Amino acid sequence: MTATSRENSALHRAIKPRMRAAIQKPWTIAQFLEWEERQPLRHEFDGARTVAMTGGTAAHETIKMNLSAALVGRLRGTPCRPYGSDLKIEAGDSIRYPDVFVSCSPIDPKATIVREPVVIFEVLSSSTAGVDRIVKNREYRSIPSVRRYIMLEQDRIGGEVLERHGAEWVSKTLKADDVLRFPGVGIEIPLRELYDGLNFDEQG
pLDDT value at 35 more than 80: yes
73-84 confidence digits (pLDDT tens) = 999 999 999 999
Same domain assignment for residues 92 and 124: yes
Same domain assignment for residues 67 and 24: no
pLDDT value at 15 more than 50: no
Same domain assignment for residues 69 and 150: yes
The answer to whether position 65 is within a domain reads: yes
Same domain assignment for residues 90 and 126: yes
pLDDT value at 168 more than 90: yes
Question: Maximum distance among all alpha carbons in the chain?
Answer: 82
The answer to whether position 197 is within a domain reads: yes
Amino acid at 130: G
Measured over the CA atoms of residue 165, residue 106, residue 33 and residue 60, the dihedral's sign is positive
Measured over the CA atoms of residue 182, residue 123, residue 169 and residue 86, the dihedral's sign is negative
Query: Model confidence at 5, in pLDDT bands (50, 70, 90)?
Result: low
Q: How many domains does the chain have?
A: 2
The rounded distance, in Å, linking the Cα atoms of 176 and 16 is 57
The pairing of strands 148-152 and 117-123 is parallel
Same domain assignment for residues 78 and 151: yes
Number of H helices, E strands in the chain: 6, 12
59-73 confidence digits (pLDDT tens) = 999 999 999 999 999
Task: Check residue 56 and give its pLDDT.
Answer: 83
Tell me which residue range forms the domain holding 25.
3-38
Q: pTM to 2 decimals?
A: 0.84
